[in-house]
Amino acid sequence: MSSVIRSLAATLCLLAASAQAQPQAIPDTLAQRALACTGCHGKEGRAAPDGYYPRLAGKPAGYLYNQLLNFRDGRRDYGLMSELVAPLSDAYLKELAGHFASLDLPYPPLQKPTLPAAELARAEQLIRKGDAARRLPACTACHGERLTGTQPALPGLLGLSRDYLNGQLGAWRSGQRRAQAPDCMADIAKALTPAEINAITQFLAGQPMPTDPHPAAALAAPAPVRCGGVAP
């Protein structure tokens, strides 16, 4: 290799190194800022594979906004989330909720139930009919007949892992998770037995998404219970 070629090669290497050293311009968009959430919640908010962090994509904006408020204002307690949203304003949290609510992305594979058919049938009965004697409303009365949620503030129950569903119902039973008063889900979770919770979460995690996976536009009938953060 001639000295001229060696010199040219060295120059090109220096230019390449210099280009790599230049800071890359990062677009100041909401999608870019939302990447701070997807480190735990999965790519584009689809849900992480570990099963503990919930899906954000496509949930009703009002529900996501309420949960961000609950973390910021101390009704829900998870250190990382609470610290992340502590300095954020209501307006910014609403904007962030709207971003994830607008995403329309594929759902994860089902988790095949392992319980006997009789236990799963009892779980489906509670989900679709409730238990009037115990003042347990049907899940479908609020979360929609398809269990995909109801606008503007009730989440879907399908497309979530058993671990996450079990964790949240357990947190409501223990008081670790709270919502704006009246906290209807805390009352419901405390009325369910651990065996019922296990069966319900296995049933839900094993259900395929319907043809239309989007939240229902509105409740089909007046809600059977009053829930904080949800307009009557």
- Of 42-56, 164-178, 204-218, the one with minimum mean pLDDT is 42-56
Name the residue among 136, 131, 148 with its Cα closest to residue 63. Answer: 148
Q: Are residues 85 and 134 in the same domain?
A: no
Domain boundary residue among 90, 106, 122?
106
Q: Are residues 95 and 166 in the same domain?
A: no
- Band the pLDDT of 12: cuts 50, 70, 90: very low
Q: Are residues 42 and 151 in the same domain?
A: no
Q: Could you give the number of structural domains in the chain?
A: 2
Cβ atoms of residues 145 and 218 within 8 Å: no
The per-residue pLDDT for 8 is 42
Counting residues of the chain whose pLDDT is more than 70, the rounded percentage is: 88
Residue 9 belongs to a domain: no
CATH of the domain at 123: 1.10.760.10
Residue 5 has pLDDT above 70, yes or no: no
Q: Are residues 131 and 190 in the same domain?
A: yes
The per-residue pLDDT for 149 is 97
Q: Are residues 230 and 115 in the same domain?
A: yes
Cβ atoms of residues 137 and 188 within 8 Å: yes
Q: Please compute the mean of the pLDDT values over residues 130-156 and round it to a whole number.
A: 97
Q: What is the pTM of this model?
A: 0.84
Residue 23 belongs to a domain: no
Residue 14 has pLDDT above 60, yes or no: no
- Beta-carbon contacts of 177 under 8 Å, excluding residues fewer than 6 positions away, are 75, 76, 77, 168, 171, 186
Question: Domain range spanning residue 33?
Answer: 29-106
Q: Are residues 215 and 229 in the same domain?
A: yes
Domain boundary residue among 106, 128, 149?
106
- Of 15-19, 159-163, 199-203, 212-216, the one with minimum mean pLDDT is 15-19
Give the DSSP letter string of 155-201: E--SS--HHHHHHHHHHHHHTSB--SSS-HHHHHHHHS-HHHHHHHH
Q: Are residues 84 and 149 in the same domain?
A: no
Q: Are residues 117 and 170 in the same domain?
A: yes
Q: Are residues 97 and 125 in the same domain?
A: no
Residue 2 belongs to a domain: no
Domain boundary residue among 57, 90, 106?
106
- Band the pLDDT of 29: cuts 50, 70, 90: confident
Q: Are residues 228 and 126 in the same domain?
A: yes
Q: Please compute the mean of the pLDDT values over residues 99-109 and round it to a whole number.
A: 92
Q: Are residues 131 and 205 in the same domain?
A: yes
